[in-house]
A = this chain, B = another copy of it.
Amino acid sequence: MGARRRREPLSRDRALVAAIALVDAEGIAALTMRRLAADLGVEAMSLYHHLPGKEGLLDGLVDAVVAEIVTAADQAETEAAGGNWRTRLRSRFLAARAVMLRHPWAPALLTSRSTIPGGVYGYYEGILAILIDGGFSYRIAHRALHAFGSLALGFAQEVFQPAAGAEVDADAAEAELAALSAQLPHLAAMVAAELHDATDPTLGWCDSQTEFEFTLDLLFDGLEQARGAAGPAAPRTPA
């Protein structure tokens, strides 16, 4: 209280909130020190009193996303309490995925960072606890963590994402694939067979909920088999 300040003073938190809003709206490329400052009604260099540079800003974004994941996942698992390990892990991963869908820039940012955000340790601790509680050895649980990979944080490795805003040339891509069907018969046949509900006919056209959950179940099935054994059913093929 008291007389209001001439303007709300800057702070690390205010900067991060504005940065997330900016990146959600216009993509990671729009996040510039100058632009962020402008959005805050301030000059670029003022940000340096609250953030240790651009890299620090990006680290802050990552920390924020991880925190959002942890919150969502904890809540989701609370709601799914009492289930078996599959159900509980599913709840966590799908909650994480919901966060990622809100922040499409997050996967690329996460995978580009070279420092591990502090929050993920706790997150993995939670996953690990579920696995151990589910009867897995530390050995298998460790490998399971690796196998989950980015799925644990809510996103699939979409090796080639089709760029936002290229949706209208559906029949153009279809024609292209038809032209290639001579050299790529299986691919053309598969796309033809699968093109019933998909609207975006590129190779990366369906990181849908279905694909995400299918992969998850595939891994869970494999893990279930491996739970007591030394490894997967056929860990080695003869050389």
Which residues of A line the B interface, CB within 8 A? 83, 86-87, 90, 108, 110-117, 120-122, 124-125, 128-129, 132, 138-139, 141-143, 146-147, 149-150, 153, 156-163, 180, 183-187, 189-190, 193-194, 202-204, 206-207, 210-211, 213-215, 217-226, 231-235, 237
Q: Is the CB of A141 within 8 A of B190?
A: yes
Q: Do B217 and A219 touch across chains, with their CB atoms under 8 A apart?
A: no
Q: Which 4 A-B pairs have the closest CB atoms?
A: A218-B222, A217-B232, A114-B163, A149-B157
CB within 8 A of A203: which of B116, B215, B234, B235? Answer: B116
Asked if residues B218 and A226 are in contact (CB atoms below 8 Å), the reply is yes
CB-defined contacts of A90 to chain B, threshold 8 Å: 237
How far, in Å, is A113 (CB) from chain B's closest CB?
A: 7
Question: Smallest CB–CB gap between A234 and chain B, Å?
Answer: 7
Whether the pair A235, B213 counts as a contact (CB closer than 8 A) is yes
The answer to whether A138 and B226 touch across the interface, beta carbons within 8 angstroms, is no
Given the known interface contacts A138-B190, A204-B116, A207-B146, the answer about A222 and B217 at a Cβ–Cβ threshold of 8 Å is yes
The residues of B that contact A86 with a CB separation of less than 8 Å are 234, 237
- Given known A-B contacts A112-B108, A204-B116, A221 and B217 have beta carbons under 8 A apart: no
27 A-B contacts, Cβ less than 8 Å apart? A83-B237, A86-B237, A90-B237, A114-B163, A116-B162, A121-B184, A121-B187, A122-B183, A125-B186, A132-B186, A138-B193, A139-B194, A141-B190, A142-B193, A143-B215, A146-B156, A146-B214, A149-B157, A149-B158, A150-B157, A213-B235, A214-B235, A217-B234, A219-B219, A219-B222, A220-B232, A221-B225
